[in-house]
Amino acid sequence: MRGVLAFGVCIPSLRLPRAVVARAMAWVNPGLNRQRGERTVCNWDEDTLTMGVEAARGALRDIARQSISNVVLASTTLPFADRSNATIVAGALGLSSTVSTQDSAGSQRAGTSSLAQAMLHSSSKNTLVIGADRRLAKPGSEQEMTYGHAGAALLVGDGAVIARYVGSSHHAADFVDHHRLADSSFDYSLEERWVSEEGWQKQVPAAIVDLLSEKSWLPTDVAHLLVNVSSNVGKKLAVLSGIPADRLADNLYDRVGDTGTGHPLLMLAAVLEKANAGERIVLVGFGQGVDVLLFEVTSAIDAWRRSRPVATALQERLEEQSYTRFLAHCGLLTPEFGMRSERDNRTAQTVAWRRHDELLTLTGGRCVRCGTIQFPLSGACVEPSCRQLGRQDPIALNEQHGRIKTFTEDWLAYSQRPPLVYGNVAFESGGNAFIEFTDFAPNEAAVGQEVRFVFRLKDVDRLRGFRRYFWKAAPVVGFRNGSH
C-alpha cells in the first residue's frame, strides 16, 4: 500500500498582525485596513532551506534515517540557484550519502507534482517530499498581506500508511495567474477576478470531476477538499465539483497566510492530524495547470492522535510588532548597524568540507575509553582523568535537547535581530557547546532552561554571494504557551 507514512511542518513562531502592516502602509493602499488576522514571517536566520529541514525533522521523528532513499525539495524561492539545496537538507538530516536528492521549482504546483511523482515510484525505501517558500512582496501590496512563510514535509512509502494514495491527474496549461522572472524579487499578479473565473473555476472542477469518475468516487464521498485559494473561491469550486461546500478544508489564511509551494502539503498535514479512518481527501495543486491527488485515511492515523504538529506550531507564536524590523529581515530595508557590522563573512570552503559532519549534523565525539562526549571533535578526550588520544566515535547531537548553563544578551555585538544571545549549553547525553541562540525574546532566556537545536542561517557573505548555515539553540516548542 503506497501513501503517506508521516508528516512534519515548520511554521515560524514570528507572527505579523495584518493590522501592523495596515497602520504603516494604508496611506498608499486604504484597502489594507480590511485585512484581518495575521501571517507567519521568518526570523532573519530562517529561509526556505531551514524551514525544509525543520519540517523534515518532524516527519522523520520516529523513522529510521537509513530507510530514506530520495529527498525532493520543492520551492520557488530556493536560496541557491546553482547548488543543490536538497543535498544540504539531506546532510542536515544526517541521511546517507547514497540518497538521491532533487530540487523541484518553476511553479506553485512543484509540491503537489513532486508528491504525485513520489507516489508513482514504488521502492523498498521511502521518499521525503518537502515544500517550502519564503516569498517576498512589495511593501503595501496585497501580497504582503496574504503571503506567509512555512514549510511542510511528507514521507512517502509502502506499508502502514496513514493516508493511502488512490490516484492523481494532471493538466498542464500555460495560464499565467502570476509570474516572476529569474532576476526579480517580487511576483507580478494578474487581476484576481479574472484568475478565479478563467483559471480556478474552469480548470480545477473539470480535473476533480474526471478523476473522481475514474476512481468511482462520488463527490459526496469526499470528506475534505483541499484547495489553496480564498474561502469564497473555494466554495465555488466545491459546488462546481459537486462536493458539499462544508467539506472545504481550512486554508489557514487567517493565521498563517498563503505559504506558496508547500501550502497544499501544509493543508494536508493539518487535515490528517484530525482526520478519521476511512475519510476521503481531494488535494489540489494549481499553477500553470492543475494537480489533483486522492487519498483515503487508514486506521494507522489513530497512532497520530498524540502528534498534532500543526496545532502545536500555530499555538507557538511571538508577535512581530515592528513593521520596519520585518522589512529588514526580508532584506527590503537596510538599517545602519554601524562599524560593528563591518566584517568579512568569507567561508573557508576547504575547512567546511573537512568538517561538514560537525557543521551539518552537529556531530560530536564520544571517547572510546571513558565515554565522555564533547563538541567539537578533537584529537584528545577532554576528561582530565582520561585524555585518550586518537579516534572518537561520532555522535549526532542535533536531535537532543539541552539546558542553558550560561548565557549573554549582548546589545553591543552585531545581530540582525538584537540582542545577540549566546552561551554555553549542556547536551542531555553529556558534553557542552558554546553556541548562538535564536527565537528568544529579550529577557526570555534563563539558566537551566531547556532548549532544542535548530538548523539556521549563520551569516551571509554578500561580497561572494554565499550563505552559511549552522545549528542554534532555541526555546522548546510549547514553552511560551505553557504546554511543555
Q: Per-residue pLDDT for 261 more than 90?
A: yes
- The whole model's pTM is what? 0.95
Q: Fold match between 2-329 and 348-362+397-475?
A: no
* 131-174 tens-digit pLDDT: 999 999 999 999 999 999 999 999 999 999 999 999 999 999 99
* 211-238 tens-digit pLDDT: 999 999 999 999 999 999 999 999 999 9
| Average pLDDT along the chain | 93
Label residue 484 by pLDDT band (50, 70, 90): very low
Q: Per-residue pLDDT for 93 more than 60?
A: yes
**Closest Cα to residue 9, out of 118, 196, 182, 152?**
152
Considering just the CA atoms, what is the radius of gyration of the chain in Å? 23
Kindly state the average pLDDT of the residues 93-105.
Answer: 96
* Three-state secondary-structure class, residue 201: helix
The residue whose grid cell reads 513593521 is 323
**Closest Cα to residue 456, out of 444, 441, 474?**
474
CA-CA distance, 380 to 374, in Å (whole number)?
10
What ranges do the domains of the chain cover? 2-329, 348-362+397-475
Label residue 123 by pLDDT band (50, 70, 90): low
Which pLDDT score is estimated for 478? 59
Share of the chain above pLDDT 90, in %: 86
Which pLDDT score is estimated for 360? 93
Label residue 341 by pLDDT band (50, 70, 90): confident
According to CATH, the topology of domain 348-362+397-475 is OB fold (Dihydrolipoamide Acetyltransferase, E2P) (2.40.50)
Kindly state the average pLDDT of the residues 347-371.
Answer: 91
CA distance readout (Å), 77 to 1, 128, 187, 451 = 33, 19, 11, 29
Sign of the C-alpha dihedral computed for residues 9, 266, 252 and 16 taken in this order: positive
Sign of the C-alpha dihedral computed for residues 330, 334, 335 and 336 taken in this order: positive
* 10-62 tens-digit pLDDT: 999 999 999 999 999 999 999 999 999 999 999 999 999 999 999 999 999 98
**Closest Cα to residue 430, out of 455, 456, 395?**
395
Share of the chain above pLDDT 70, in %: 98
∠ CA 459-464-469, nearest 5°, is: 25
- Residue 141, C-alpha cell as written in the block: 501590496
Q: Which CATH number fits domain 2-329: 3.50.50.60, 3.40.50.2300, 3.40.50.410, 3.40.47.10?
A: 3.40.47.10
- Lowest-confidence region among 182-186, 235-239, 404-408, 434-438: 182-186
Which pLDDT score is estimated for 374? 93
